[in-house]
Structure 1
Amino acid sequence: MQWRLHEDVDADVRAAVELLRSPSGLRTREQGEQLREVLQRRIEDARRADPSAGYAAHLRTALDYRSWFRFETYVVDDAAPGRKRALTGRTGLSQGEQRVLSYLVLFAAAAAHSTTLGETTPHAPRLILLDDAFAKVDEPTHGRLGRILVDLDLDFVLTSERLMGNWPEVPSLHIYECLRDARVRGVASLHYTWNGRHRRLMPV
């Protein structure tokens, strides 16, 4: 993935990005004044576009740098690691490959968000929830995706009708299997632990 500036952003945004790349303590007085003027013009533009909105809304619109950039996703083939293709509707990927790419983007975004959050809240969980995990992804890839979650230091909760998650690439896991008999009310739950090699049924 690449995070880059939109091609059609105006000159003020480009100037602001260049100035914000340098630490505030290293900017000259002239650069600081230029940055202030650039951001002030953006606030005024937001006010003219929606005069009825409050000042806080104008600030959010004018200073939301996320709208200045865009993500571009590229596909790298294992057979040709030096070659990359931009991911578009015409890239020609199978449904399974598309699923894997969407998981990779999701994992990377979740890890980046958790890392940023951890700078101010160190004990915040790095947690991702996946319902019907890895559907339509071939089985050999399941463990590789699990390994990526581990490498990104993400805790995860997976639900699935067929996956247990006991892949050699994942060093530890708690597994809960829910069993239901249509003739009996309620659901029975079995608790297993996984240590990367063996799955063990835990006593009730």
Structure 2
Amino acid sequence: MGATGLLTTLTQERDRSRDDITAAERRLFDQILTGDIRRHLAARIRQAGELVDRMNGHLERVRTASNVAVQLVWDVRPDLPDSTRTARQLLLKDPGRVTESDREALHDFFRARIEEAKGSETAASWEEQLGEVLDYTAWHRFTVRLDRANGTGWQPLTKKLHGALSGGEKAIALHLPLFAAVAAHYEAVPLAPRPILLDEVFVGVDTVNRGQVFALLTALDLDLMVTSDHEWCTYGELPGIAVHQLLADGDDDAVTSARFVWNGVDLEAG
């Protein structure tokens, strides 16, 4: 076979191979869009949205004395193309209402994502590339928003906005999303311990808001352990906690502790 014939044969084989891959991809995408994978992916996105809504339900009960409140937003990353948001909406759409144009849009989206995964050279195998393509968490990002009850509505918590808050408001704005994140993390293993350890707890937060924050920690079912040189956790919003006061004698280096129990109403020696 001459060089020209070899080039023609190789070109034809390449084109056939490309067509075969495209057909295989379409069959795979159809399976994804109509089968268990699609339902699983849509269910996970819905579950994540419901979890965010549930956490916001807890967060909205905490509003500072100056009427500052915090909420979380889980949305498609703004730096991604519009096709990502469209694909997300189509994945959540009733399969019976998915049109041919919708299917084509999803095909184009997944095909572009596969090409992107191949080009990034971060996945060594087809399975890993599919893992990247179907990683819905990479499509989203969390944003913390603040409402100051001043008529401006909910605003993203930027560095500038955070700097304009009082010390207590800053602490609230930073603590609440972290508590929600910890509680959400523990949702994956319902029967596991749910510890959260805080050093010098709630410095700068006023008494009223401390009660609200302890109520939030209780509602999130977190196992709280704190250290403080002033906080005794005697708030009506907190149903119970053991307190150990460290005692030292000035004459030697020995340290012991006195145990108390807050039962939601009284502080009792225990």
Please classify the TM superposition score into its range, dividing by the shorter chain length: 0.7 to 0.9
Secondary structure of 1:103's match? Answer: helix
Query: How much has 1:43 moved relative to structure 2?
Result: 3.4
Using the size of structure 1 for normalisation, the TM-score is 0.77
Q: 2:263 aligns with which of 182, 195, 201?
A: 195
- Change in 2 beyond 3 A, CA 1:61/1:129: farther
Does residue 1:19 correspond to 2:90, yes or no?
yes
Does residue 1:42 correspond to 2:113, yes or no?
yes
More helix by share: 2
Does residue 1:153 correspond to 2:256, yes or no?
no
5 Å matches for 1:158-197? 158-181=226-249, 183-197=251-265
5 Å matches for 1:134-145? 134-145=202-213
Query: How much has 1:64 moved relative to structure 2?
Result: 3.1
26-35 vs 11-20, which deviates more? 26-35
Secondary structure of 1:96's match? Answer: helix
Matched with 1:98 is 170
Query: How much has 1:59 moved relative to structure 2?
Result: 4.7
Aligned-pair RMSD on alpha carbons?
3.0
Query: How much has 1:128 moved relative to structure 2?
Result: 2.1
Q: Which has the higher contact order (CA 8 A, sep 6+)?
A: 2
- Change in 2 beyond 3 A, CA 1:54/1:105: same
- Change in 2 beyond 3 A, CA 1:29/1:84: closer
Structure 1: state its 5+ residue gaps: none
Query: How much has 1:145 moved relative to structure 2?
Result: 0.9
Does residue 1:88 correspond to 2:158, yes or no?
yes
Query: How much has 1:18 moved relative to structure 2?
Result: 1.8
* Aligned residue type for 1:155: D
Q: Distance in 2 between matches of 1:152 and 1:199?
A: 23
Aligned pair count reads 195
Structure 2: state its 5+ residue gaps: 1-71
Using the size of structure 2 for normalisation, the TM-score is 0.61
- Change in 2 beyond 3 A, CA 1:48/1:82: closer
Name the larger-Rg structure: 2
Q: Distance in 1 between matches of 2:195 and 2:109?
A: 38
Q: Distance in 2 between matches of 1:190 and 1:100?
A: 30
- Change in 2 beyond 3 A, CA 1:126/1:21: farther
Whether the 8 Å CA contact 2:76–2:84 is kept in 1: the answer is no
Whether the 8 Å CA contact 2:248–2:255 is kept in 1: the answer is yes
Matched with 2:194 is 126
Matched with 2:135 is 64
Query: How much has 1:7 moved relative to structure 2?
Result: 2.3
Query: How much has 1:11 moved relative to structure 2?
Result: 4.4
Q: Distance in 1 between matches of 2:137 and 2:217?
A: 25
- Change in 2 beyond 3 A, CA 1:32/1:187: farther
